[in-house]
Chain A
Amino acid sequence: MPDQLLFAMEVTLNGLMAGVLYALVALGFVLIFKASGIFNYAQGVMALFAAMTLVGIMKGQVPFSHLINAIFGTDIHYFGWHVPSLIAILLTCVVMVGLAWCVQYFIMRHLVNQEPIILFMATIGLAYFLEGFSDLMWGSEIKKLDVGLPQGINETIDRVTFDWFGYGFFIDNLDIVATVIAALLVVALVVFSQYTREGRAMRAVADDHQAALSVGVSLNFIWVMVWSVAGFVALVAGIMWGTKSGVQFSLSLIALKALPVLMLGGFTSIPGAIVGGLIIGVGEKLFEFALGPALGGATENWFAYVLALVFLVFRPQGLFGEKIIERV
């Protein structure tokens, strides 16, 4: 086989893996959007917050230590214990549920029945708030996250492809793990929303708020639950991205990458989020591979948006979305 084709295949595979990570973030968006019609811009910052909290708990960091030290002139940083990653993940889940409750109680409850764009702007505010808050709580330096996921080149794939084509593909173990976890997460979410009582209530709320209320579904509870689930998805995404490139501010920018994924897949479809993520992941890698050198490189920054833009003009509801978008 010619080298170019092999490179293209490797790029495609890596794009698929990157797409899985985009899809993970997009999933959190879809959940909240389906259940409450809110486009949650803060999803990326929630992933950042979750990852920072996880690192902080694992290392036994004292919350707000910088602030306390600045005000009282003390010098405390660590409790001096290390929490095993599994317990830390569970504790972080508890924190994310708490966050979900706070968001519902202090913000969304007061904005019921507002226009979607107002809710969107409120979540931008929430994103800023949370970003500053997590920096105050855990400090803003880049942190290393290691919960024991395998990393580095996958030797088996490298060897097998070398035997087949005479060229070993480079695929990161972490990407494979991420793919498996994303698949499990999607299956779990589908089972949850199809077969459990709470999941059905969630879909009822998504269909029609008033009808759901009239048959006795508690909107408050459902929304807290949805934000909690989104927080959990954010935690998973935060772990994956954090392990890959360190826990830092740029983590919150993946939220922006998830937007075109949603445009492509449709705002209301869980499979759409996955497929959209894969298309964007592969598309931007292949585009960079094929035309990047000619255009000056770093086309990944805008390719996804322009693709989504072109897509919007022809099929505004996305690949799998419901036809609810008002055409102008």
Chain B
Amino acid sequence: MFYREAGDFKTSYVEDGQTFPIRFDRYRYYFVLAVAFGIVPFFINDYWANAILLPFLIYAIAAIGLNILTGYCGQVSLGTGGFMAVGAYSCYKLMTAFPDVSMFIHVLLAGGITALVGVVFGLPSLRIKGFYLAVATLAAQFFLVWLFNRVAWFYNYSASGQINAPEREVFGIIITGPNATSTAAYLFCLIFLVASALVARNLTRGTIGRTWMAIRDMDIAAEIIGVNPLRAKLTAFAVSSFFVGISGALFFAVYLGAVEVGEAFGIQKSFLVLFMIIIGGLGSIFGSFAGAAFLVLLPVALKVFGVDIMGWPTDIVAHFQLVIVGGLIILFLILEPHGLAQLWRVAKEKLRLWPFPH
């Protein structure tokens, strides 16, 4: 009753091809955008921004990136952390080399550089697949982290081996560095997230997304109907790495400010993003959001419940978190392989018919 397409007539091709063809979806989308841009910035404070909002926005971008590669194109990658590190370090090099250029351009360029690196490490996917490919991306993960740790040029020969984000601004508003306000950081990340989600959604609806899905569902059949696997796989790697690189750049420059590569972009980060898309839903943009939100909120909720309410030591809560995350992964794989996104779809289907049973 609330959610239906009846009476929603399209009279032009533009209307027919819009991103959200169902009116209810479209209004909901405008509503969420209005809240995110118009209301949240006025109520934001440092705790909410740093504990929940910024990590959510940044991980959602990374999850969209990985979802394009794994969920849409079917190529499992365990190198997300390494590619995020590429984004972070190229952003750092650009920021220090060209201080006067706007951060927008730096972040986008960082994404572009990551895309190139992603294509290079995606080359083995032309010969191998499945978890053989997963191991090949693992090579990328370890090699890249080692590279940024050992080659001093990447961290500008700083004594600590860390990289620190200098103060940079966009249109006169400080975005990075210790003096940036949480509102500015939030809006900056939000713009990138909205843009990424829109681009990803439309890419996956178009020709290129369909070739990805064809490769995912059955590569031999896809080849026979004329999909070029080389192009499909390498574009998936490039687009995916582009988003992952953007999220890595934001993670370093806007969220953390100072980064030690092994700690911030280690193998755990790769698994975290992979878990986000498994729990959220493989092959769904909404799922990337849901998974990122879930895994950002879970530790916070557990900490509030375990440490603040029950008074348990923090290490026990941390162990519980591992148990719960691992258990949830297994549970989702067994009960709902399409993740939270599928639960949402089922709910929509129910809402469409309600109050009638059929």
Contacts and interface: CB of A to CB of B under 8 A. Distances in A.
A114 B324 CA distance: 23
Q: State the main secondary structure of chain A at its contact with B.
A: helix
A256 B78 CA distance: 11
A107 B328 CA distance: 12
Interface size class of A (residues with CB under 8 A): 35 or more
B348 interface: no
A312 B135 CA distance: 10
A328 B125 contact: yes
Interface string B320-348: 11111111111001100100000000000
Interface in A275-328: 295-299, 301-302, 305-306, 308-309, 312-313, 316, 325-328
A70 B313 contact: yes
A71 B149 CA distance: 42
A70 B139 contact: no
A281 to B, nearest CB: 17
Nearest to B230: A328
A316 B130 CA distance: 12
B129 A326 contact: yes
Contact of B139 (A116, A297, A308, A328): A308
Interface of B: 76, 124-132, 134-136, 138-139, 142-143, 145-146, 149-151, 219, 229, 267, 271, 274, 278, 311-313, 315-316, 319-330, 333-334, 337
A327 B127 contact: yes
A309 B319 contact: no
Interface in A113-154: 114, 116-118, 120-122, 124-133, 135-136, 140
A256 B125 CA distance: 20
A110 B131 contact: no
Question: What are the nearest 5 A-B pairs in CB distance?
Answer: A132-B322, A129-B326, A125-B329, A128-B326, A305-B139
A129 B330 contact: yes
Contacts of A308: 135, 139
B333 A122 contact: yes
B325 A128 contact: yes
20 contacts: A117-B131, A118-B333, A121-B278, A122-B333, A125-B325, A125-B333, A128-B325, A129-B323, A136-B316, A136-B320, A296-B150, A296-B151, A298-B149, A301-B145, A302-B146, A306-B139, A312-B132, A312-B135, A328-B126, A328-B229
Given A124-B329, A306-B143, A136 B136 contact: no
A263 B151 contact: no
A295 to B, nearest CB: 7
Given A107-B330, A129-B327, A259-B138, A124 B129 contact: no
A124 B146 contact: no
B326 to A, nearest CB: 3
A120 B131 contact: yes
A66 interface: yes
Contacts of A129: 322-323, 325-327, 330
Contacts of A326: 129
A49 interface: no
B124 A312 contact: yes
B316 A66 contact: yes
User: Which of A132, A299, A312 has its CB near the most chain B CB atoms (within 10 A)?
Assistant: A132
A241 interface: no
A272 interface: no
A111 interface: yes
Interface string A217-231: 000000000000000
B150 to A, nearest CB: 4
A17 to B, nearest CB: 23
Given A67-B316, A328-B127, A328-B229, A309 B136 contact: yes
A260 interface: yes
A313 B124 contact: yes
